[in-house]
Amino acid sequence: MKHIKLFENSGQSKYKDFSDSEVAYYQRLWDFLHFKYRTNKFFSSLWDKVTSKKRLTKNQWIELEFLLKNGKSRYEAGMLPSNY
């Protein structure tokens, strides 16, 4: 996984740009997600931006990365308050 850059080390950029190898790696994670996340309007639109434009904002990437690595959203994990 040397070819995948960590977002935390990417400097002060507002965007996370994806290489082809990163998209392929995250595609495997996306394919293993539960059906409810792959059909969720918010997460599916983020994933479409990754595959088509290969770019997300920092905040979009934080949400999508958490979902891909943990299998649930930050809200479901209890990281976001439920009073929104």
Amino acid at 71: G
**What distance in Å separates the CA atoms of residue 55 and residue 36, rounded to the nearest whole number?**
23
Report pLDDT for 78. Answer: 80
Note the pLDDT tens digit of each residue in 10-62.
556 799 999 999 999 999 999 999 999 999 999 999 999 999 999 999 999 99
Q: What is the residue extent of each domain of the chain?
A: 17-70
- Both structure tokens of 63: 């949400």
